[in-house]
Amino acid sequence: MPALTFEQIHQRLTAQFGDAIGPLQPAKKDPWCTFAPGRVVEVCRFLKATPDFAFDFLEDISATDHPKEGLIRVVYHFYSYRHRHTFIAKAEFFHYTAKATPTNLIRRPSVHRRRTYVDIKRGRQFVLSLLP
């Protein structure tokens, strides 16, 4: 199967998950969309398990802390070795409602040995990335 375009992947995710997938956001370099924070793990499992997508590698994961807004923004860069396509998604988590939900869904670069942590600066609370 040839690589799917970002728009094709986004259409199928929207059909499957509805409002949990945000609108397509064209960017200067790469398009992206948002995932509802409570459904990130579910959507990621779908991206990995669905043969047409087969996202088996997390190319990059990054997070930024926005204390004035009370948010942590996480960006996921997915890649499929089988189909040679990519997908970028973002999710926003509130500081005190984000759940630590580590999963072993998708392989990641060795630079991310364990998990990506974001220090919230207030207290000792840490937010684990949803895909280590």
Bridge-based pairing state of the strands 85-94 and 126-128? unpaired
Burial class (CB in 10 A: 0-12, 13-18, 19+), 14: middle
In angstroms, the Cα distances linking 50 to 12, 20, 66, 127, 130 are 11, 17, 34, 28, 19
Domain 6-128 belongs to what architecture? 2-Layer Sandwich (3.30)
Domain ranges of the chain: 6-128
**pLDDT digits 0-9 by tens, 71-117:** 888 889 999 999 999 999 999 888 755 444 434 444 544 444 334 44
The average confidence (pLDDT) of the chain is 76
Regarding beta strands 126-128 and 57-66, do their DSSP bridges make them parallel or antiparallel, or are they unpaired? Answer: unpaired
- Token readout for 29 is 């370099």
